[in-house]
Structures are given as C-alpha cells and as structure tokens.
Structure 1
C-alpha cells in the first residue's frame, strides 16, 4: 500500500440534515484556493506515497497506486485545472473518491490535494451559482460557490472533474500526437 489511511469517512447524515437543505463537504487547499467535494463521494484520505507512472497519459494523471489490491488512478487536481503540477509537501495527501458510473459500476480515483482542511456543513441557501469568469477552474467543473467564515469555497462537480470520457479522449489525443511526432521524425 502506498500510504497509510489517515481518515475513513463515515456517511451518516441524518434525515434532519437532508430536510434542512445542508450538505457536508470535505474542504481542501490547492495553492491558496479552497475547494470542496460533497462528502458522499469521499471514501477515505491517505498519505501521499510513491506512485507508479503510466505512460501515454495526460499530464494531470500522475500515476496509479495499489489500494488494498485495487489499482487506483491518481489525478493531480492542480494540473487538471490547467495549473502547474502540485508540489508535494508533508501535508499533501490523496483523497480517494468513489463515483457511480453510467452502468451502475463504481469507479474509484485518487486526487492529490495540497492539504485537507475540514468537513463543513454548508446550507444550500449559502451556495451561489458558478461565476461566469474570475476563477482558474473551468465553469463546468464548478457546482457552486459557498461563503464560509468570510471566505469563498469552490464546490466541485466531481463527475465533471473526473470524467472518464474526457480523460480518455485527452489520453487518445496525446497518444495520437506522440504517434504523429514519431512519424514526422
């Protein structure tokens, strides 16, 4: 196993929380910006460990890890958003995210974040739509913006950010470009 499990996330929202329109989010930092993912998508948080690189993948796919016998691809969210690759520090960790596929299958992916902050409960009334400009993240990646303790938190649409179709298309385009470069040489 590449990293020790730091947190096992418990999914036990009460009926009262759902009825009042609040949702729990895991907040984390990428550079100076705070982001959040709905807690129901979070499986666990592990220490950053050695990754095995996979050739011909887009730059934001840093590699794969062995998580209790399962091969889990690890995405560098900073790179995925068009920024530089994350600098790995002692606070860096991998958030293990579980998504449901179209055919009902479960997909598990890891996301490198600079630092995990906290689990916050955010009332739906405090969530605004994504702005049309002003963020370094594509609009379709943003589920909304919330103001928490005087600070904006970007709520991510993990289905869009970690879309297998888009990542596969990017990998195919990179492979085609590499093939064209070899042919031209």
Structure 2
C-alpha cells in the first residue's frame, strides 16, 4: 500500500526529537521509555556509533548515538540529552530493546498517514531506506524514521546476548 492509497483519516502518533536542530519522528508505539543520559559500559569491537550498553532492570540495552549514525558532528552530552529506549522487530520476529541518544525530546503528535510525503530519491549511493517519509507542520519539516530499518537488528544481535 502506498502512502497515497491510505484511507483519508488513518492517524498514528509520533514522538519527535531533535538532532543538530532538525526534527525527527518515530512511532510512539516503538518507544518503551525516555531516560536522561547516563554513562554506559563501553563495548569492544563495536561500530563508533555504538556508545555502549546499559543495564535496564536486568536487560542489557545497547545504546547508539544517532548523531554518529547519521554522520552529524558530535556534541557533548548535556542535561537535555536523552536516551529513547525502543523495541525493534528483528527478522526472526524477536523484539530487541535498543536505546538511541538524541539531543532532546520535543513532543508527541498525531499525523494523518495520508499527509506523510514519500522520502526523496537521492540516488543509489545514498541510503534512504530508514526514512519512512517526511511530514510538514507549521513549525517546519519532520523526518519520520523507520527504526526497524535504521537500527538494523542484525548489527545488534550479538550485543544483546551479553550478560
């Protein structure tokens, strides 16, 4: 089903957050919790965007920095820096818990799915598969992310089994 063939009033809620002054959104149903930044345990032999892992009520949660994942210049973490803890679906239909660092959380709002514009085609050398679409609101454009694709679970399977 394409974005244009959706029923007129199919509404979903999105959590918006900021990275480098730009607004991004993710499905609220993927969000388990939002936490303030706290130091993490470093993990050896992981990509630079993997900051480490947290013990979250007995569950080891890999933490990734979206600035580094998107090749955006890094910032020192501040009191507004947050970790958004998400539940990601893997190809094996197992839910994987992953945290992502964002500069700040903005708000939760409803979007009529028919109002989501398709991601621009930027050519075959630029990967836009993790962009669900773009949404234009009065305060500017929001890039809606597909976290199941952005946080490719295959990259985190081994991390999630740490004890």
> TM-score, normalised to structure 1's length?
0.75
Match of 1:102 among 87, 91, 96: 91
Do the aligned partners of residues 55 and 110 (structure 1) sit closer, same or farther apart at CA in structure 2, a change above 3 Å counting?
same
> Are the equivalent residues in 1 in contact too, given 2:88–2:153 (CA < 8 A)?
no
Match of 1:143 among 132, 135, 147: 132
Q: Work out whether 1:91 is the aligned partner of 2:80.
A: yes
Partner in structure 1 of residue 46 of structure 2: 57
> How far, CA to CA, are the matches of 1:116 and 1:53 in structure 2?
24
> Are the equivalent residues in 2 in contact too, given 1:34–1:152 (CA < 8 A)?
yes
1:129-154 Cα distance to aligned partner (Å, 9 max, x none): 00124xxx841120000012241000
Residue 28 of structure 1 deviates from its aligned partner by 0.1
Q: Work out whether 1:74 is the aligned partner of 2:63.
A: yes
Moved over 3 A (4+): none
Q: SS of the counterpart of 1:109? A: strand
Gaps spanning 5+ residues in structure 1: where? 1-17, 172-185
> Are the equivalent residues in 2 in contact too, given 1:129–1:143 (CA < 8 A)?
yes
Q: Work out whether 1:130 is the aligned partner of 2:122.
A: no
> Are the equivalent residues in 2 in contact too, given 1:79–1:86 (CA < 8 A)?
no
Partner in structure 1 of residue 16 of structure 2: 27
> Are the equivalent residues in 2 in contact too, given 1:60–1:85 (CA < 8 A)?
no
* Structure with more contact order per residue of length (Cα contacts < 8 Å, sep ≥ 6): 2
Larger radius of gyration: 1
> Are the equivalent residues in 2 in contact too, given 1:76–1:86 (CA < 8 A)?
no
Q: How many residues align?
A: 150
> How far, CA to CA, are the matches of 1:74 and 1:95 in structure 2?
9
> Are the equivalent residues in 2 in contact too, given 1:76–1:85 (CA < 8 A)?
no
Structure (1 or 2) with the greater helix fraction: 1
Residue 126 of structure 1 deviates from its aligned partner by 1.5
Gaps spanning 5+ residues in structure 2: where? 1-6
Q: CA RMSD in A?
A: 2.3
> How far, CA to CA, are the matches of 1:147 and 1:160 in structure 2?
22
Match of 1:117 among 106, 126, 135: 106
Q: For structure 1, which segment, 95-104 or 58-67, has the greater mean C-alpha deviation from structure 2 after superposition?
A: 95-104
